[in-house]
Amino acid sequence: MKQLQEKILTEGKVLSESVLKVDSFLNHQIDPALMQAIGEEFASRFADEGITKILTIESSGIAPAVMAGLVLGVPVVFARKRKSLTLVDDLYTASVHSFTKNETNDISVSKAFIGSEDVVLVMDDFLANGQAALGLVDIVEQADAALSGIGIVIEKGFQTGGNLLRGRGIRVESLAIVSSLEHGKVEFLEEEMVR
C-alpha cells in the first residue's frame, strides 16, 4: 500500500537494525485518515470471505481493526493482555511469548464474543516473530470459529513471523513489508514476493 509506505518513509524512525518506530501515526499518536485508508484496504482484500468478526490485541491493533470493522460492518474484539476487573470468567486464554521483550503473557478473550458460528479476521499492527498472531489464532481455534486470514499493517519480512504463519497455510495480508532496516534505511519488499 503506497500511502503507508510513504508515511513510513517520511515519519518512521529506524531505531536499530530490527526496530522501526512509528509513534507519530500508529503506536502512540494515531493518524485517523491513514487508519481509514488502511481499514478500507483490509476490507477490500477480505471482502469475499464472509467475515463476521475481527480479532486483534491491545493496544496498537485496535485502531486499524476498528476501521476495518467499520467498513466491513462487523464487530471488533480485542484480546486483553492484562487482567481486567470485569473480564473474570468464561475466557479463552493463550500464552504469548515476546522474543523482543523476553517475556511471556497470557492474553484473554471473553467466550461471549467469539463462537463456532464466527468467521474471524485476525489483525495486528506489527508482525515480527508472529507470536501474538499465533496466540490470536489459538483463540480462534479454541472457539471452533473459522479463520479467514490475518491482516497486518507492517510486517518485518526479515523476521520469522511471516514464514511461520504462511507455512501453516494461513492467508497473511500485510500492507507494508519491510525487508531491511540496515544502515538506518527502510527498504520494502513488494507484497507479490511473499504470496
Task: Kindly indicate which of the ranges 87-95, 128-136, 138-146, 166-174 contains the residues binding ligand G4P, using the contact rule CB under 6 A.
Answer: 128-136
Among 4, 5, 7, 22, contact with ligand G4P (rule: CB under 6 A): 22
Which CB atom, from 129 or from 142, has the smaller least distance to ligand G4P? 129
Among 21, 45, 166, 171, contact with ligand G4P (rule: CB under 6 A): 21
Q: How far is the CB of 143 from ligand G4P (least distance, A)?
A: 20
Closest to 128 measured CA to CA, from 108, 102, 155, 152: 155
Per DSSP, helices labelled H in 56-176 are 62-72, 131-142, 161-167
Is 130 within any annotated ligand binding site? yes
Q: How far apart (Å, rounded) are the C-alpha atoms in residues 184 and 97?
A: 27
At what angle are helices 62-72 and 32-45 packed, to 10 degrees?
50
Torsions phi, psi of 136, nearest 5? -70, -40
Our finding on whether 125 is near ligand G4P (CB under 6 A) is yes
- Please list, in sequence order, all residues whose beta carbon lies within 8 angstroms of the beta carbon of residue 104, skipping any fewer than 6 positions away: 95, 96, 97, 98
Our finding on whether 59 is near ligand G4P (CB under 6 A) is yes
Rg (CA), the chain: 16
Is 53 within any annotated ligand binding site? no
Q: How far apart (Å, rounded) are the C-alpha atoms in residues 149 and 167?
A: 13
Task: Kindly indicate which of the ranges 35-43, 66-74, 92-100, 143-151 contains the residues binding ligand G4P, using the contact rule CB under 6 A.
Answer: 92-100
Q: Tell me, what DSSP letter sits at residue 111?
A: T
Our finding on whether 180 is near ligand G4P (CB under 6 A) is no
Among 126, 139, 140, 151, contact with ligand G4P (rule: CB under 6 A): 126
Our finding on whether 128 is near ligand G4P (CB under 6 A) is yes
Residues making up the binding site for 5-phospho-alpha-D-ribose 1-diphosphate: 128-132
Residues that bind ligand G4P (CB under 6 A): 19-22, 27, 59-60, 98-101, 125-132, 156, 161
